[in-house]
């Protein structure tokens, strides 16, 4: 597959391309080395002329936002008739990649942590009258540690271009083909609000709020609230929220799940005016009591008694006690299953809570 740039290309007389990272419907993304400040950065460049037209204005828009949960815009220039947007390099992966590679879903404590920081990023943007329009896991960067300790929202710079693409592609006679062929649209559909699937698109700040609710549901269940593809368009239009997942009723997690479910319900209201503002959501999350205790990974070593209890083997050789009531998944815990967990002091052994199954390859 050919890309716009190759390793060692120098753009803007300053940024030396290290390697290709990814691409979306609008842009290609590279890791590069800043030859002046001797640091790694991310360089983004539009893939086509239609994207190129709005790149500069969008870069200026994203540069207005300065917040710990938003990827910093560092530079913008046009070089050889091509636009380049330079952002801080974040060691880690986008949230979609982490979910695809490492997690089946997130327990409510970890999901609340991610969503809370995401809402803070959206709130600061909305205060500048900037709304994302294309909020989805692939636009959220997270660190590679078990805690997902660093969370940064990115790609505000292509939000308006994405809206233009929705408007141009989602014509009534072209809906089905666009839904199945456009990378921009296919990845965004599960998180698009009803007003974003109308023609013409009428995106508002409330569209970001809907996306937060859809993302939170997805994180806690591993499933999209309204499905994907063309079927999701029909379900989103109806805005009939699925019934509360059975997993949310697990006693050890029920209180927190109930709080988060109320937030999901508020976000996924069909009428934009009925959804909370981003600032109101920040306030809602500040009242949610979720654990941010240090996480680690290990493997289920064995079970004792009637197999409702057992031990997790840590990388340092320690054994940590856990109860299946603290295991968050629709899967059954089995020996050698890899898990993510927080460890607390206990007697005679430390105890794990919550315990989250993770993927192993």
Convert the pLDDT of each residue in 68-77 to its tens digit.
999 999 998 8
Whether 253 and 107 have beta carbons less than 8 Å apart is answered as yes
254 band by pLDDT with thresholds 50, 70 and 90 = very high
Name the nearest CA neighbour of 262 among 285, 279, 246, 278: 285
55 band by pLDDT with thresholds 50, 70 and 90 = confident
pTM over 0.85: yes
Q: Is the pLDDT of residue 56 over 90?
A: no
Q: Is the pLDDT of residue 185 over 70?
A: no
Distance CA 17, CA 182 (A): 27
Domains present along the chain, CATH in parentheses: 10-88 (3.30.200.20), 93-286 (1.10.510.10), 295-357 (2.40.50.140)
Residues 8-31, mean pLDDT to the nearest whole number: 89
Name the nearest CA neighbour of 123 among 150, 153, 93, 96: 153
Residue 215: what pLDDT? 98
DSSP three-state, residue 130:
coil
Candidate from 52-66, 183-197, 224-238 with smallest mean pLDDT:
52-66
Q: What is the 8-class DSSP label of residue 205?
A: H
Q: What value does the mean pLDDT of the chain take?
A: 88
Whether 253 and 244 have beta carbons less than 8 Å apart is answered as no
Q: Is the pLDDT of residue 182 over 60?
A: no
Q: What is the 8-class DSSP label of residue 136?
A: -
Residue 172: burial class (beta carbons within 10 Å; 0-12, 13-18, 19+):
exposed
With vertex at residue 115, the alpha carbon angle to CA 113 and CA 121, rounded to the nearest 5 degrees, is: 110
Residue 22: what pLDDT? 83
Residues 252-269, mean pLDDT to the nearest whole number: 97
Q: Is the pLDDT of residue 24 over 80?
A: no
Distance CA 270, CA 236 (A): 8
Distance CA 189, CA 228 (A): 7
Q: Is the pLDDT of residue 256 over 50?
A: yes
Name the nearest CA neighbour of 136 among 113, 159, 109: 159
Name the nearest CA neighbour of 340 among 56, 89, 146, 63: 146
Residues 275-282, mean pLDDT to the nearest whole number: 98
Instruction: Please give the full DSSP string across 233-286, using - where no structure is assigned.
Output: HHHHHHT-PPPPPGGGG-HHHHHHHHHHHHHHHHHT-SSGGGSPPHHHHHHHHH
Q: Is the pLDDT of residue 353 over 80?
A: yes
Residue 161 corresponds to which tokens in the numbers above?
């271009």
Candidate from 184-188, 237-241, 301-305 with smallest mean pLDDT:
184-188
Note the pLDDT tens digit of each residue in 207-249: 999 999 999 999 999 999 999 888 889 999 998 888 899 999 9
Residues 131-136, mean pLDDT to the nearest whole number: 89
Q: Cis (ω within 30 of 0) for the bond into 200?
A: yes
Distance CA 241, CA 277 (A): 19
151 band by pLDDT with thresholds 50, 70 and 90 = very high
């Amino acid at each position: 597959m050919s890309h716009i740039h190759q390793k060692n290309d120098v753009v803007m007389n300053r940024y030396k391309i290290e390697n290709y990272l990814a691409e979306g419907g609008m842009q290609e993304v590279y890791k590069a080395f800043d030859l002046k400040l001797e640091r790694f950065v991310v360089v983004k460049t539009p893939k086509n002329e239609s994207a190129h037209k709005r790149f500069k204005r969008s870069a200026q828009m994203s540069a207005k936002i300065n917040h710990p949960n938003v990827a910093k815009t560092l530079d913008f220039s046009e070089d050889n008739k091509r636009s380049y947007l330079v952002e801080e390099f974040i060691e880690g992966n986008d949230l979609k990649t982490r979910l695809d590679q490492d997690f089946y879903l997130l327990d409510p404590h970890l999901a609340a942590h991610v969503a809370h920081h995401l809402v803070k990023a959206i709130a600061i943007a909305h205060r500048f009258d900037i709304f994302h329009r294309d909020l989805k896991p692939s636009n959220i960067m997270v660190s590679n540690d078990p805690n997902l300790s660093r969370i940064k929202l990115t790609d505000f710079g292509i939000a308006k271009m994405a809206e233009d693409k929705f408007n141009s592609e989602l014509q009534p006679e072209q809906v089905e083909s666009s839904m199945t062929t456009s990378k921009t649209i296919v990845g965004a559909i599960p998180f698009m609000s009803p007003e974003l699937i109308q023609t013409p698109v009428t995106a508002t700040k409330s569209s970001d709020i809907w996306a937060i609710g859809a993302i939170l549901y997805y994180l806690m269940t591993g499933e999209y609230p309204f499905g994907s593809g063309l079927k999701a368009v029909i379900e989103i239009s109806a805005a009939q929220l699925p019934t509360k997942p059975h997993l949310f009723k697990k006693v050890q997690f029920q209180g927190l799940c109930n709080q988060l479910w109320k937030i999901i319900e508020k976000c996924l209201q069909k009428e934009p005016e009925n959804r909370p503002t981003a600032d109101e959501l920040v306030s809602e999350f500040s009242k949610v009591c979720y654990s941010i205790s240090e996480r680690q990974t290990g493997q289920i070593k064995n079970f004792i008694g009637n197999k409702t209890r057992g031990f997790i083997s840590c990388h340092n050789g320690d054994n940590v006690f856990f109860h299946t009531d603290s295991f968050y998944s629709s899967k059954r815990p089995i020996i050698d299953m890899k898990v993510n967990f927080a460890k607390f002091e206990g007697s005679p052994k430390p105890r794990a809570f919550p315990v989250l199954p993770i993927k192993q390859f």
